[in-house]
Amino acid sequence: MSHYTRYVSARIGQALVTAFLVYIVVFVIVTLLPGDPVSGRLSNPEYGYTKDEIAQMLVYFKLDRPAWEQLWIALERLAHGDLGLSYASNLPVSTLLWAGVPSTLHLAGTAFLFALVFAFALAVGAYFLPDGFGGGVLRAFPSLFLSVPNFLIGLIVINVFSFQLGLFVMSDFRSPEALIYPAVTLAVPASAPIAQVLLTALDGARAEQYATVAISKGLGRFELLWRHLLPNAALPTSTIAAIIVGDLLGGSIITEAIFGRTGVGTVVEKAVGEQDVPVLQAAVFLAAVLFLLINLVVDLVYPVLDPRLRTTAAAT
């Protein structure tokens, strides 16, 4: 087994253990701490359950068992890919979530691509333009983007492009604009930290001795950027980009509600209103797993981007 294969196996093992611990923590927070939301839902007069029906449901969902046994049953189900049953609809939680996952991932993925384009344009533009010719303005844009919340950007986009300009209709979810506009809404604030890190990394790499030597040998700024600066700026930018993906997944839920899109946000919003604990628990766990998966991919790509890290990977 090669050194890199051992490194990959170790990182995958760490991710699996972390996901396992995340599930236990979420289960403990939702199920075992004081203020049981399940019993509160069943005893809520709005739902009209009788005492016999409550007792039957507790047995059916195995909520009459001791806490440790509930956890063991949940872990057994998880090992078989079973996230439990919804208290509200009595349908498998996985069925409810997966119905909205493709739409949410599509939105988050498109927003991520837009965020990368915006960040790259800002950072490279600020790198090439002097401060007196627009470079300083471009450097100020990330701070401006970061200070504006998603919901406000969404409302501005809807007001300007839908109500004022009439470029898209809010009820027409099959049009390209139904994806582009919410994706842009997510991408604008998400691009800010990526642009800041990329620009800082480019400035730092530009100050290194190898860059000074390359310039003294007649290497142009454009060639210096592509051959030397961007490869060195890739590592910190990849790290922040992975974090941003997790933020986009969470932001997608809010943006879906603003633009009326159907996705995981719709499922979670309904589960909150119905106090559907298994759905909420599974949604949190799914978000954590996706975040772990993204960071795992970044960890595995690091040695490919920087050969110096292959020695570290080999020693792991």
pLDDT at 23 over 80: yes
- Asked if residue 296 lies in contact with residue 12, where contact means CB atoms within 8 angstroms, the answer is yes
* Residue 13: pLDDT over 80: yes
Query: What is the three-class DSSP state of 60?
Result: helix
Q: What is the pLDDT of residue 171?
A: 57
What pLDDT was estimated at residue 149?
72
Place of tokens 């996706």: 290
Whether residue 217 is predicted with pLDDT greater than 80 in this model: the reply is no
pLDDT at residue 108, as a whole number? 86
Here the tokens at position 249 are: 């997944």
Q: What is the pTM of this model?
A: 0.74
Q: Which residue has the higher pLDDT, 15 or 151?
A: 15
DSSP letters spanning 208-267:
SHHHHHHHHTT--HHHHIIIIIHHHHHHHHHHHHHHHHHHHHHHHHHHHHHHT--SHHHH
What CA–CA distances, in Å, run from 13 to 1, 18, 81, 191, 293?
16, 9, 18, 31, 12
DSSP characters over 72-109: HHHHHHHHTT---B-TTT-SBHHHHHHHHHHHHHHHHH
How many other CB atoms are there within 10 angstroms of residue 240's CB atom? Answer: 16
Q: Per the structure block, which two tokens stand in for 187? A: 């991408």
Q: What mean pLDDT value characterizes the chain?
A: 77
Residues 244-255 have pLDDT tens digits of 887 787 777 777
Domain with CATH 1.10.3720.10 in the chain: 93-313
Mean pLDDT across 194-221: 80
pLDDT score at 185: 83
What does the alpha-carbon distance between residue 275 and residue 279 come to, in Å, rounded to a whole number? Answer: 9
Least confident range from 112-116, 190-194, 290-294: namely 290-294
Q: How many CB atoms lie under 10 A from the CB of residue 226?
A: 11
Residue with tokens 């490919």: 304
pLDDT in tens, 41-50: 666 666 667 7
As given in the structure block, the two tokens for residue 300 are: 């595995």
Architecture per CATH, 93-313: Orthogonal Bundle (1.10)
Amino acid at the residue 161: F
pLDDT band at 113 (very low <50, low <70, confident <90, very high): very high
Position with higher pLDDT, 312 vs 57: 57
**Tokens at 223, concatenated:** 């060639």
Can you tell me the distance from the alpha carbon of 215 to that of 92, in angstroms, rounded to the nearest whole number? Answer: 62
Q: What is the pLDDT of residue 310?
A: 56
State the pLDDT at residue 47.
66
Residue 37: the pLDDT is: 57
State the Cα–Cα distance between residues 184 and 150, nearest whole angstrom: 10
pLDDT at 316 over 70: no
Mean of pLDDT values over 262-270 = 81
